Amino acid sequence: MTKSKKKLESELNEAFIKLHRDLIGRGPQEIKTYIVQDMIIARFKGVLTIEEKHLVNHQYGKKLVKQMRQVLREMYSQDFEKIVEQYTNCTVLSSHSDISTRMGERIEVFILDKNLEKLLD
């Protein structure tokens, strides 16, 4: 693989932002993607919409936002995994996601079939 680790992380950032905008209508305020051995970890900051920010101030609303985001993630998990596979030439074995309504952050973790970091260094 000829790309540098930093370049690939940047390309994944851009692809994730584009998909996020297509799904939610707006992208995160900030994203940082890390390639760590056989994992890709993406941290999305500022992901909540204005409506969601209001809802999370109520206990039922917090639960509702988490449930809605989890359903969306399940619906589009293959899209996120396709991006990872396209840019890394690795197979995604599994992926995991969670959202913090308190911090307005979401984390995505992709487990790959090989140690990508080793291939880039």
Pairwise CA distance, residues 115 & 5, whole Å = 12
Confidence of residue 81 (pLDDT cuts 50, 70, 90): very high
Pairwise CA distance, residues 45 & 60, whole Å = 23
φ, ψ at 32 (rounded to 5°):
-135, 125
Residue 94 has pLDDT above 90, yes or no: yes
Q: Give me the sign of the Cα torsion angle 24, 27, 28, 34.
A: positive
Q: Tell me: the pLDDT tens digits for 9-42?
A: 999 999 999 998 887 788 889 999 999 999 999 9
5-120: in CATH 3.30.750: no
Strand partners, 94: 111
Confidence of residue 106 (pLDDT cuts 50, 70, 90): very high
Q: How far separated are the first and last CA of the chain, in Å rounded?
A: 10
Enter the pTM of the model.
0.89
Question: What burial letters (b/e) apply to 63-83, b meaning 16+ CB within 10 Å?
Answer: eebbeebeeebeeebeebbeb
Average pLDDT, the chain: 93
3-state SS of 30-65 is EEEEEEECCEEEEEEECCCCHHHHHHCCCHHHHHHH
Q: Where are the domains of the chain?
A: 5-120
User: What's residue 11's pLDDT?
Assistant: 96
Confidence of residue 2 (pLDDT cuts 50, 70, 90): low
